[in-house]
Amino acid sequence: MKRLRKAWLMLAGAVAPFTAYAELPSYELDLRDGHFTPALLEVPAGQRFKIILKNIGQGPAEFESTPLRVEKVLSPGVTTFVVIHPLRPGHYPFFDEFNPQLPEGGILAK
């Protein structure tokens, strides 16, 4: 019985970091052939959050932001997420490097 409890506690410790990501405020962002929907995400400043990225386009897509120091490439049909650290109030642009000619998206922290 002690071994079973010890194994369960070890497993619970391994799962806890993933559970913390699930509890973060989440915002969905669709990527389709270089276009972002919505083009602007409004988030509260000073709070960590998660962006769920869905590539609903026909080709690869990339969520990249130099000021946020984040880059994520998605194959068609892929859903993934990125966790963003607490932001100061301001505008943080992001873009799709596969489609640099298209308008950037942005995050507005208030």
- Domains of the chain, first to last: 25-109 (2.60.40.420)
Compute the distance between CA of residue 96 and CA of residue 100 in angstroms, rounded to an integer. Answer: 6
Q: Is the pLDDT of residue 7 over 80?
A: no
Q: Is the pLDDT of residue 18 over 60?
A: no
- List phi, psi (to 5°) of 8: -65, -45
Tokens for 91?
């505008």
Give the global pTM.
0.78
- Best CA proximity match to 48, nearest among 20, 73, 79: 20
Q: Is the pLDDT of residue 2 over 70?
A: no
Q: What confidence score (pLDDT) does residue 5 get?
A: 54
Classified as helix, coil or strand, 15 is helix
Question: What is the percent of the chain with per-residue pLDDT over 70, rounded to a whole number?
Answer: 80
Q: Is the pLDDT of residue 14 over 90?
A: no
